[in-house]
A and B are shown apart, each in its own frame.
Chain A
Amino acid sequence: MIRHLLSGADLDAATATQILDTAAEMATVAGREVKKLPALRGRTVVNLFYEDSTRTRISFEAAAKRLSADVINFSAKGSSVTKGESLKDTALTLQAMGADAVVVRHPASGAPHRLANWVDGSVVNAGDGTHEHPTQALLDAYTMRSRLGRLAGLHVAIVGDVLHSRVARSNVLLLSTLGAKVTLVGPPTLIPVDISAALAPGTDVSYDLDTVLPGVDVVMMLRVQRERMGDSYFPSAREYARRYGLDGPRLRRLPEHAIVMHPGPMNRGMEITPEVADSPRSTIVEQVANGVSVRMAVLYLLLGGNNL
């Protein structure tokens, strides 16, 4: 098993499949009356969050607690960080406290890579800047596999602000490793340069959502921040929604079996209409539940838990 999980590129097909299979076993725990395993008893997991992200933090917290680990939540607000402590000093502090794993969310791309140089424990990237969010990609892959029965050969459209999306980068890497085909869709201003060469050859780019939809098994909508308007990535929220939002008519262009995903939090009415978000084809709530199972699997395997 790998020591850190910093990028979707850290996972080969065998390791990724092992995590997904382990997550499936973890999911059975959620159905039990006592939702707890002793696997990580006595181990310490630190949630080091430099950005507000309640959903990701509580997902990791629930995952660690269900494995009986001790959980320390270290949030940038109200900590020594606001007094100007450097990431390195924080890392050395966590090291001295004996953290076995550090789950880090940080606004700067690459911060988890830096952290991994300074601590002995495992580092899990819980989202860094506009770079990656590998456990999100794992939970998305898990969701696709459980809904559609496979990953190899699937065609996945990832739609929206790919440029600033850590979810998109991790998904492109992981999905291509697992044999799925990805088409990135968005306005040209929000598709980063050389994306297929940078991440996975064979990744397609399209600027036209309507032509892509009939041929996909999964459509994953990305959150688009309204602030991007001010920076001329697109003229208005209304125009964005018209060209790239997923609404009822577009939903009906999808094949029968296709599913709709969103990493949350959603901008209802912007990239996705309530009709679509709440439809039976939407896996949005399921993704949240699967997040806990996948994060349990990641922590369990990284920390070398032996038997379930």
Chain B
Amino acid sequence: MTAYLIKNVSVVGAEPTDLLIRDGVVAETGVGLDAPEATVLDGTGLVALPGLVDLHTHLREPGREDAETVESGSRAAALGGYTAVCAMANTSPVADTAGVVEQVWRLGREAGLVDVQPIGAVTVGLAGERLAELGAMADSAARVRIFSDDGHCVADPKLMRRALEYVKAFDGIIAQHAEEPRLTEGAQMHEGEVSTRLGLTGWPAVAEEAIIARDVLLAEHVGSRLHVCHVSTAGSVEVLRHAKARGVKVTAEVTPHHLLLTDEKAASYDPVYKVNPPLRTDADVAALRAALAEGVIDIVATDHAPHAVEDKECEWAYARPGMLGLETALSIALDVLGPQWDLIAERMSRAPARIAGLAGHGLDPAPGVPANLTLVDPAARRVIEPAELASRSRNTPYARMTLPGRIVATFLRGEPTVLDGKAVR
């Protein structure tokens, strides 16, 4: 195993130091380290962060390997500075059995670029009718702890209550896609001025807020952990703030795109901007940014959702919702939050690792800690070219935008997955 000596690097924004990585861990830190056997990397001007952790990734395998595979998604993740991703269950077949989650877990191990932690479905086939074998998935080699029907809401309140209660037995958590389905029938974009102008069926904010309000009350009632996926509205932030003040065990995520883009993007009718929940208004974006800084929203999660060209190069109403996110998330966070490295490390690595229960991830580089880390060049600016992305899909909403920050290197347990901005394999 090669050792690496990173010279003059700022660990999470602190004064520059040297980092020696050996045998899978951070062996030593300090100014003026010397290690003749180590490969030396110049870290001048770079910031070392604990490897990013994504609680919400769609890797599409099994089923839609034309859009993404575990391997291509893992590569995209590593290039984005991630060392762990949680793979959503809405594959085909659905990850609702121990067999499927173990398959995804094994494919992740074989790719070896990030730790792939499968998420299990809450209900059989994501149909929202009866519980999947949550315990079997928890006991499997994949050791599933997060369960989600993402893409669908667990809308039945009794089923949601049971799921929240049941997973307490193995310290599980339900990640809810909050969308009251009756209020969003046929919905295409945020309901508001722009949807009225464009003649697209609206997805009202209340459809998200009503489910979050119900779920925090349910979680409080049964004393369970709830995680809210991709919070998108100012009203949801208020519901979460209230719940947290009452001591409800709720955590929440926001996506990079909901921190940056608004529903005005739909005016092009280009479905690259179609996503669920939809892009909202300026006021929502401002509320989400404030909530993220404040901690009402705990983490940034990408909701990386690759789609084949034919599923996006069509009429808006016929396109599938979702956008790529893994390779651009850190740049968006940097753009939105500025160089607040401790905050970025908290929201993109430590907190998601805690929520997911991923040991060895989300730890700042320090002696004895597993060497899961990434090196960022905050001064770099890059133009996003869809064709240059490692994902198999091209549906980035940031095409031809200039974004700050570049991932220079990523290490997974001491082994580089990205060096000089390129995936090692």
Contact = CB atoms under 8 A, between A and B. Distances in A.
Residue with the greatest number of chain B CB neighbours at <10 A, chosen from A131, A197, A198: A198
Contact of A194 (B188, B193, B269, B314): B193
A55 interface: no
A80 B321 CA distance: 26
A194 B196 contact: yes
A194 B194 CA distance: 9
B111 interface: no
B192 A193 contact: yes
Nearest to A195: B196
Nearest to B204: A193
B191 interface: yes
A129 B269 contact: no
A86 interface: yes
A87 interface: yes
Contacts of B194: 198
Contacts of A271: none
Contacts, number: 70
Contacts of B202: 192-193
Contact of A198 (B193, B313, B314, B315): B193
Given A114-B269, A198-B197, A109 B317 contact: yes
Interface in A25-77: none
B314 A192 contact: no
Given A110-B316, A129-B317, A169-B199, A197 B193 contact: yes
A88 B198 contact: no
A110 B313 contact: no
B388 interface: no
A105 interface: no
A181 interface: no
A130 B201 contact: yes
A88 B198 CA distance: 21
Nearest to A194: B193
A175 B198 CA distance: 18
A86 B199 contact: no
Contacts of A192: 195-196, 202
Contact of B268 (A113, A195, A199): A113
B199 A199 contact: no
A110 B194 CA distance: 13
Interface in B168-210: 188, 191-202
Nearest to A50: B315
B302 to A, nearest CB: 27
Nearest to A231: B185
B37 interface: no
Given A86-B314, A87-B315, A130-B201, A110 B196 contact: no
A299 to B, nearest CB: 23
B197 A199 contact: yes
A107 B201 CA distance: 13
A198 B196 contact: yes
Interface residues of B, number: 23
Given A86-B310, A114-B315, A131 B191 contact: no
B317 A108 contact: yes
Contacts of A128: 199
Given A108-B318, A113-B269, A86 B313 contact: yes
B118 to A, nearest CB: 33
A132 B314 contact: no
Contacts of B197: 169, 198-199
Interface string A193-222: 111011100000000000000000000000
Contacts of B198: 109-110, 131
A300 B202 CA distance: 37
Contacts of A166: 199
A288 interface: no
Interface string A225-256: 00000000000000000000000000000000
A131 B199 contact: yes
A219 B195 CA distance: 26
B315 A110 contact: yes
Contact of B314 (A88, A131, A169, A199): A88
Contact of A193 (B193, B310, B316, B318): B193
A197 B264 CA distance: 14
A114 B314 contact: yes
Contacts of B313: 86, 88
Residue with the greatest number of chain A CB neighbours at <10 A, chosen from B188, B199, B269: B199
A86 B313 CA distance: 9
Nearest to B269: A110
Given A114-B315, A192-B196, 12 more contacts: A86-B310, A86-B314, A107-B317, A108-B318, A109-B200, A110-B199, A113-B268, A131-B198, A166-B199, A192-B195, A198-B194, A199-B197
Of all A-B residue pairs in the complex, the 4 with the closest CB atoms, nearest first, are A131-B199, A110-B269, A108-B315, A198-B196
